[in-house]
Structure 1
Amino acid sequence: MKVIGRGGFGRVLLVEKKDTKQVYAMKVLKKGVIAARGEIEHTRTERSVLSKLDHPFLAKLHWSFQSDQNLYFIMDFINGGELFHHLAIEKRFNEERAKFYAAEIVSGMEYLHSAGVIYRDLKPENLLLSHKGHIVMTDFGLSKEGLLSDDARTATFCGTPEYLAPEIIKGDDYTKAIDWWSVGTLIYEMLTGLPPFYTEDEENMYHKIMTAEIDFSKHHFSAEAQDIIKRFLDRDPNTRLQDPLEIKKHGWFKEMDWEKLDNLEISPPFVPQVKSADDVSNIDDEFLRENIQEDDDDDQPKGPVKKDDFINFTFAAEQGPAGAGTKI
């Protein structure tokens, strides 16, 4: 129906299921492009993670399947717009609005970590608003699963530069604590409009992430907001704020009813203007202008794909994984 997004390996399309007329977001990834960039394992992990998620603030996978050339993820169409989109329009959020989004992210992150998953790519572009105004965390292409213990470690250098924790930049092994660094970065960005150590020069930004003081002088922060940001942005991952119970008890969240939050019983501070299930008014015009029949990814370098690279990729939420190599 329409192009509603684009990533490194393909596009996201708004589609309609013929029998029910229900609309979904269909993520289409080119197998050859994935292979050429050495991202087969990350893509398999994304499918594995998505198939297990069941949480109000995390994206829901309904089906996944494949053709000879492509992989397909069928997800809920979340049409309230990216948090990035709304932050760009409004420049910054007040503390109550930022706190609400942060709380829903904390809840989603706690769930991910309890399932042994490190997110590794928290940023406003990967956070959508539902039509009611709730956060939906998306894009698990950089996630890592199987880290069930609190001190389980991994070492891959990946993520978005502005949100990288110091231990990733140093090349150290790291734990789930990196995600809480990103939460602190995001809270600061929601309150000011920019990440705390942002510069256009990437190397300089890495240096600032490693050494610079957090600047609280340009905007008003409550004492509690400053404290939680400082504790999330502790450069020592061992003392960084990362225990979900401790986070929820922090003074910044003192009025938050976490049970009501998880049950979607707290009214969001902002409700996007959405007229219908297929309303695309909160989607970037850059995507909507694309011709759905034309695909720029066709020109990208492609690598060889082996028969079993995406074995067991097919999935239906009602019945779990389908047989090996099954195509729908």
Structure 2
Amino acid sequence: MPPHAVAAEERKGGEDGCVQQSSSLLRCITSTAGSCKPARCYSQGDFRIIKSIGHGDMGTVFLVALRGDNSPYAMKVMKKEVLAARENFHRAQTEKEILKALDHPFLPRLLAHFETDKHTFLVTDYCCGGDLNVLRQKQPDKRFSESATRFYAAEVLLALEYLHEHGIIYRDLKPENILIKENGHVMLTDFDLSLNLATKKKTSSSPLFTDKKKKPSKPRPLSCGLHFELPRIITQRRKNTSKSCKKAVARIFPRSCGSSSDCRSNSFVGTEEYVAPEVVWGSGHGLPVDWWTFGVFLYELVYAKTPFKGSRRKDTFYNILCKEVELPGPPTPLKDLIAGLLVKDPEQRLGSRQGALEVRNHAFFQEVRWSEVELVARPPVVP
């Protein structure tokens, strides 16, 4: 979630109880051990709101301090009324369940979650270094060096490996969702678009698009290519001809659509510059979508832009389906890695056969000592 200030939301929150103690009864669901007090239920009154640090489709994130020791945390506040209106209760529930299960140095801990009659709250680790996109903007030419790119890519890769081993598709990888911790290492955030394949079967119609007029077809299970079996959503093989690409884009952007909020293009959820071709096709997707977004992520770190962005959303989707990635300059292992990740056929994409191991074994990561990344590797920037 991009960390930009939302002053209006803070003022509104003060009126409806988001940023002050509510008179309604708080129902504590659970809490987990961190530096928070163990073996007790937390409520809104245990935390002091400091400021808003992010806002998104699901709610507002505040920097808060635990009363008593002033330890900083991030508190995501979601209005139940808004969740209901946008039919997002399932996304909030998915994010909570995923956060509860995470235990990895580059992923957040769910320290507590509780609710009132009007709001639901998630309390996680706070990262004082901002996000990777802001950090990139501060670099010379707004791009990272190859060594810095390798550092951040390695840590993100380990986080993705952990998620995939637990049957979780992240689906929202981008620099804005990579936070920098106090020690300079990374933490992935924002899991409301994620899917847990191990516990929940999804239809072959992509949840990143919401088309109320079309009933989803049934999913067909397939091995995900890891060391164990998970239900995977099949993506049909398609020829990426100019004609077929135009038909796919026309399906998403019908001429009669205009600017109507009922149109499918306006119900798109996610970051279109990062979306994988199989998601645009709407024919289903699985774990390989994260390897596509990993490729886009790497490209942006070194080229200061995403590879398929068009002047309009329609053009962006067309480029994703039909245009090959351009990698200026002489060949390098990094460019070869990006090219392997940005293969349009998910079954031929790097990472689709052996998962993260296949990506880790690429020449670009040859110098990385994977078992020592967290303890030995020196971050390029320490806040």
TM range (shorter): 0.7 to 0.9
Matches within 5 A, 1:281-292: none
- Report the 3-state secondary structure (helix = DSSP H, G, I; strand = E; otherwise coil) of the residue aligned with 1:105: helix
- Out of 346, 368, 371, the position equivalent to 1:237 is 346
In the alignment, structure 1 residue 17 sits paired with structure 2 residue 79:
no
- 1:189 paired residue number: 300
Correspondence 1:152-231 to 2 at 5 A: 152-154=231-233, 158-217=269-328, 220=329, 223-231=332-340
Paired positions, count: 269
Q: Which has the higher contact order (CA 8 A, sep 6+)?
A: 1
Structure whose alpha-carbon radius of gyration is higher: 2
Which residue number in structure 1 is paired with residue 150 of structure 2? 99
What is the root-mean-square deviation in Å for CA atoms of aligned residues?
Answer: 1.7
1:146 Cα deviation from its structure 2 partner: 2.6
CA distance in 2, matches of 1:221, 1:210: 25
Check the 8 A contact 1:118/1:147 in 2, yes or no.
no
Please show how residues 1-328 of structure 1 align to structure 2 within 5 Å. 1-90=50-139, 91-147=142-198, 150=224, 152-154=231-233, 158-217=269-328, 220=329, 223-242=332-351, 243-261=355-373, 263-272=374-383
Tell me the residue number matched to 2:212: none
> Deviation at 1:118?
0.5
TM-score, normalisation: structure 2: 0.68
Moved runs in structure 1, 4+ residues, more than 4 A? 154-158
Identical aligned residues as a percent: 39
Query: What is the aligned partner in structure 1 of residue 35 from structure 2?
Result: none
Task: State the AA in 1 paired with 2:349.
Answer: R
Does the CA contact (< 8 Å) of 1:13 and 1:27 recur in 2?
yes
Distance in 2 (CA, whole Å) between partners of 1:265 and 1:55 is 17
TM-score (norm 1): 0.79
The separation in 2 between residues aligned to 1:211 and 1:60, in whole angstroms, is 39
Point out where structure 2 has 5 or more consecutive residues left out of the alignment. 1-49, 200-222, 226-230, 235-266
* Contact 2:58/2:92 (8 A) holds in 1: no
Amino acid at match of 2:381: F
Partners of 1:167 and 1:173 within 8 A in 2: yes
Letter in 2 for 1:122: L
Letter in 1 for 2:224: D
Question: Residues 186, 252 of structure 1: CA spacing in aligned structure 2 closer, same or farther, 3 A cutoff?
Answer: same
State the SS of the aligned residue for 2:138. Answer: helix
Matches of 2:298 and 2:288, distance apart in 1: 16
Does structure 2 conserve the Cα–Cα contact (< 8 Å) formed by 1:126 and 1:138? yes
Residue of structure 2 equivalent to 1:292:
none
- Distance (Å, rounded) in 1 between the aligned partners of 2:338 and 2:58: 34
**Per the alignment, do residues 221 and 22 of structure 1 end up closer, same or farther by CA in structure 2, a change over 3 Å counting?**
farther
Letter in 1 for 2:340: R
Question: What secondary structure does 1:81 align onto?
Answer: coil
**1:234–1:240 CA contact under 8 A, matched in 2:** yes
How far off is 1:199 after superposition? 2.1
5+ residue gaps in structure 1?
273-328
Report the Cα offset of residue 239 of structure 1: 1.1
What SS class does the counterpart of residue 4 from structure 1 fall into?
strand
